[in-house]
Amino acid sequence: MWFRKVSTISLFIFSLFTAIAAEKAASYKLYGSVRSDFYYNSRQNVQAQDGLFNIMPKPILLINGKDVNAIAEVEMLSVYTRLGLDFNGTPVLGATTTAKIEFDFAGISTSYYLIRLRQAYIKFNTASGELSVGQTWHPLFGSVMPTIISSNAGAAFQPFNRSPQIRFKKNVTQNSALVLAAIYQMQYLSQGPNGASASYLKRSLLPNIFVGWERKTPTWTQGMGFDTKTLKINNENLTSASAMAYAQYSSKKWQVKGKAILGENLSDHLIMGGYGVVGKNSATGDDTYTNFNTMTSWLNVVYGSKIQYGIFLGLSQNLGTNNMLIPNAASIITAYGYGFDVKSQEIIDKMYRVSSHISYNLPNFRAGIEYELTSADFGTIKNTGRALNPYRVINHRIQAMVSYNF
Nearest to 288 by CA among 236, 229, 231: 236
pLDDT of 7 over the 60 cut: no
Going from the N-terminus, what domains does the chain have, and what CATH number goes with each?
26-405 (2.40.160.10)
pLDDT of 25 over the 70 cut: no
At 26, is the pLDDT very low, low, confident or very high (cuts 50, 70, 90)? Answer: confident
Count of beta carbons in the 10 Å neighbourhood of residue 200: 25
Cα angle value 77/82/84 (rounded, 5°): 170
For residue 66, what are the contacts with CB-CB under 8 A and spacing of at least 6? none
307 three-class SS: strand
Q: Are the C-beta atoms of residues 72 and 81 closer than 8 Å to each other?
A: no
Cα–Cα distance, 220 to 257 (Å, whole number): 10
pLDDT for the residue numbered 49 = 86
The pTM assigned to this predicted structure is: 0.90
pLDDT of 107 over the 90 cut: no
CA–CA distance from 86 to each of 26, 127, 134, 136, 319 (Å)?
10, 21, 14, 13, 42
Residue 206, CB-side half-sphere exposure with 13 Å CA sphere: 14
Percent of the chain with pLDDT over 90: 87
Cα–Cα distance, 50 to 30 (Å, whole number): 28
